[in-house]
């Protein structure tokens, strides 16, 4: 079983309207809702790849109930979200159909009490007992200690479970110090962490900060992995047009499934890049276009980096 | 008992953030939720004035549950909303704290099935049996016939219950033909109905279309009433700064309570204008500032209009 952790899960709402006008009233023409939050997106892709997947984290309020219902209806992910008194946050994507642009409104998330945090830790430790890998994903809700990913990483390592960390800012910085097996920052997160906009230099810096391996997602340029055994970069064979939301989460699912299946690094990267590109071609985060995925798998280009790690 | 009908109730959500940036991601700093929809605002103000008030209409889904919980917690309004399979709509007000401007996003509302519509009609007819007046308020959800307010007006008249109609567009046009006792359009709705931007002319036109009395809310200029007995205009003694959302709903509550209490028309208008102004000074629609209300009651200026109706 693969475990994913989403401490700040979200009910993702998409509003479509012909044109967004600010400072006045807009009638939304189409409303869609999905279970959201990076760890839940990762879980849905893992389940679609055939891996038994359990999702934990927090869910509460009417929005939490809606999220759990959608998760169960729309995927084979097992719901082990821990109840919380506050309401799961909403994230609202307002799509202007004239320009194609999206304006995103993200609520902060529920305040998590110390007792709720303790309940989560109990669930997490129990689930680690049967996990083959764990993904720690996304931002933190208010009330959760900022070093939470360091604590969860140490607990997983103590249980012998490999850890993938996908977050940003201070939670990433602190989490790296606990030596996760794999960190997957994107170029922006990597630059914010290290101060360097040169991906190879920044990824090496991130490794020195504690991650055993760093796989940096670089958008259209694919994924750069700096590992103990070497440096590889994998990229799609052509530019992929579409909606990049969730592409990074699908990359995480690709990397994590490759880890569990013990694939060589180049094969993990090929899978991650193909899944990522197939997500750009899908309607929503947490989904991917199977045709694009199958088509790209044999065509992703992997480069053995000239300078070793 | 006073009955209010809200066919397209809403969970009103307010997002505050330092500055709204379109086409990118915004972190909302404060989230508040309220029961919304014009008829529910009217009901809350009536209940705060001490009138026994029942609210009916439709509510469904997680948003409907949240709305009902808030309505019961925050007011003495009796909830007689009829369950519907679809989810109650959300309306989202995004307040830019730098400019003070609000960008509003309104969902369309749940599709109402013929069976649900029948269930509502049964509830409505039953409640009319004990109602001293009924307010029919707001927009229509998908699936409800456009002549609904005409039907509900006829049913109320057949039961001997006075009807106040507060809507716009085609539902207003059709509703007027069923001869409600009172219509309360604002200046914009009146102009859209009649083609005239001159309020007295437009209000007389609206009367000819069927309303026994027309009370037009004219923002800072107060309320103009064209009745069978005369024409009056009431206005606040000074400009009132604040948030005008819900001011029209409070005017409806003032007019309706005055009708039930058999107040002379000038006194009804004084109450409606004072409540309306006190709502501009309150934080949210459906609420009013009691201090402002008490202070303004003796100071609202009523003008007996020179030209009779």
> At B67, which CATH number?
3.40.1190.20
Tally of domains in chain B: 1
Give the Cβ contact number of residue A1 at 10 Å. Answer: 16
pLDDT above 70 for A308: no
- The per-residue pLDDT for range A71-109, each reduced to its tens digit, is 999 899 999 999 999 999 999 999 999 998 889 999 999
Shortest CA distance from A25: residue in chain B: B104
Among B21, B63, B101, select the one facing A23 at the smallest CB separation.
B101
Task: Mutate one of B103, B139, B142, B169 to test the A interface: name it (highest A CB count within 10 A).
Answer: B103
A78 sits in which H/E element:
strand A78-83
The residues, any chain, with a CB within 8 Å of residue B111's CB and separated by 6 or more, are B86, B141, B142, B143
- What mean pLDDT is predicted for residues A3-26? 95
CB contact at 8 A, A80 and A55: yes
Integer Cα distance of B16 and B27 in angstroms: 9
The answer to whether residue B66 is domain-embedded is: yes
Among A25, A65, A107, select the one facing B28 at the smallest CB separation.
A107
Min Cα distance B56 → chain A (Å) is 22
CA A138: distance to chain centroid? 6
The residues of B that are catalytic are 249
CB contact at 8 A, A8 and A216: no
Among A22, A28, A107, select the one facing B103 at the smallest CB separation.
A22
* A16 and A137 inside one domain: yes
Among A24, A61, A99, select the one facing B104 at the smallest CB separation.
A24
CB contact at 8 A, B246 and B214: no
Q: Which residues of B229-246 are buried (b: 16+ CB within 10 A; e: fewer)?
A: eebbbbbbeeebeebbbb
Is B88 an 8 Å CB contact of chain A? no
Shortest CA distance from B100: residue in chain A: A23
Selection from B65, B66, B55 nearest residue B7 by Cα: B55
The answer to whether residue A189 is domain-embedded is: no
What residues in A contact B28, CB-CB < 8 Å?
A: 105-108
What residues in A contact B23, CB-CB < 8 Å?
A: 96, 99, 101-103
**At A293, is the secondary structure helix, strand, or coil?**
helix
Among A26, A102, A106, select the one facing B105 at the smallest CB separation.
A26
- Among candidate residues A12, A166, A181, A249, the one labeled active-site is A249
CB contact at 8 A, A92 and A86: no
- The per-residue pLDDT for range A257-290, each reduced to its tens digit, is 999 999 999 999 999 999 999 999 987 778 899 9
Beta-bridge partner residues of A217: A186, A223
Is A119 an 8 Å CB contact of chain B? no
The answer to whether residue A88 is domain-embedded is: yes
Strand order in the sheet with A163-166: A78-83, A53-59, A2-6, A133-137, A163-166, A182-183, A213-217, A223-226, A231-235, A301-304
Beta-bridge partner residues of B15: B31, B94
Is A24 an 8 Å CB contact of chain B? yes
Give the Cβ contact number of residue B208 at 10 Å. Answer: 11
Min Cα distance A213 → chain B (Å) is 29
Residue A309, pLDDT score:
43
Distances (CA, A) of A280 to A50, A142, A273: 21, 31, 11
The answer to whether residue A135 is domain-embedded is: yes
Shortest CA distance from A64: residue in chain B: B62
The answer to whether residue A158 is domain-embedded is: no
- The per-residue pLDDT for range A160-200, each reduced to its tens digit, is 999 999 999 999 999 999 999 999 999 999 999 999 999 99
Integer Cα distance of B133 and B163 in angstroms: 6
Is A16 an 8 Å CB contact of chain B? no
Query: In this complex, do A99 and B23 lie within 8 Å of one another by their Cβ atoms?
Result: yes
Integer Cα distance of A188 and A168 in angstroms: 9
Selection from A32, A30, A39 nearest residue A10 by Cα: A39
Is B269 an 8 Å CB contact of chain A? no
Is A19 an 8 Å CB contact of chain B? no
Domain enclosing residue A257, as ranges: 218-309
- Complex ipTM: 0.85
- The per-residue pLDDT for range A64-79, each reduced to its tens digit, is 999 999 999 989 999 9
- Which residue among A101, A117, A144 closes a domain? A144
Residue B307, pLDDT score:
60
Is B31 an 8 Å CB contact of chain A? yes
Task: Mutate one of A8, A92, A138, A139 to test the B interface: name it (highest B CB count within 10 A).
Answer: A92
The answer to whether residue B139 is domain-embedded is: no
pLDDT digit string (tens) for chain B, length 309 residues = 999 999 999 999 999 999 999 999 999 999 999 999 999 999 999 999 999 999 999 999 999 999 999 999 989 999 999 999 999 999 999 999 999 888 999 999 999 999 999 999 999 999 999 999 999 999 999 889 999 999 999 999 999 999 999 999 999 999 999 999 999 999 999 999 999 999 999 999 999 999 999 999 999 999 999 999 999 999 999 999 888 889 999 999 999 999 999 999 999 999 999 999 999 998 777 889 999 999 999 999 999 976 644
The answer to whether residue A194 is domain-embedded is: no
- What mean pLDDT is predicted for residues A40-58? 97
The answer to whether residue A151 is domain-embedded is: no
* A104 and A227 inside one domain: no
């Amino acid at each position: 079983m693969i475990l994913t952790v989403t401490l700040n899960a979200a009910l993702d709402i998409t509003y479509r309207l012909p044109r967004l006008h600010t400072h006045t009233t807009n009638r939304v023409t189409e409303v869609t809702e999905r279970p959201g939050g990076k760890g839940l997106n990762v879980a849905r892709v893992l389940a679609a790849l055939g891996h038994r997947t359990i999702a934990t984290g927090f869910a509460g309020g009417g929005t939490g109930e809606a999220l759990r219902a959608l998760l169960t209806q729309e995927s084979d992910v097992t719901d082990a979200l821990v109840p919380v008194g506050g309401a799961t946050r909403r994230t609202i994507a307002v799509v202007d159909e004239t320009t194609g642009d999206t304006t995103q409104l993200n609520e902060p998330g529920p305040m998590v009490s110390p007792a709720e945090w303790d309940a989560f830790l109990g669930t997490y430790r129990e689930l680690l007992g049967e996990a083959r890998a764990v993904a720690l994903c996304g931002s933190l809700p208010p009330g959760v200690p900022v070093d939470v990913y360091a604590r969860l990483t140490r607990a997983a390592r103590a249980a012998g479970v490999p850890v993938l960390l996908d977050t940003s800012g201070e939670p990433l910085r602190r989490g790296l110090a606990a030596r996760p097996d794999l960190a997957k920052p994107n170029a922006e997160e990597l630059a914010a962490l290290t101060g360097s906009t040169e991906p190879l230099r920044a990824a090496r810096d991130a490794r020195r900060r504690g991650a055993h391996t760093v796989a940096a997602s670089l958008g259209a340029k694919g994924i750069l992995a700096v590992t103990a055994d070497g440096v590889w970069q994998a990229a799609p064979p052509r530019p992929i047009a579409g909606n990049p939301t969730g592409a990074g989460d699908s990359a995480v699912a690709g990397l994590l499934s490759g880890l569990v299946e013990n694939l060589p690094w180049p094969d993990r990267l090929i899978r991650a890049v193909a899944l990522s590109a197939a997500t750009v071609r899908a309607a929503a985060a947490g989904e991917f276009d199977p045709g694009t995925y199958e088509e790209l798998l044999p065509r992703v280009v992997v480069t053995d980096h000239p300078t070793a790690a």
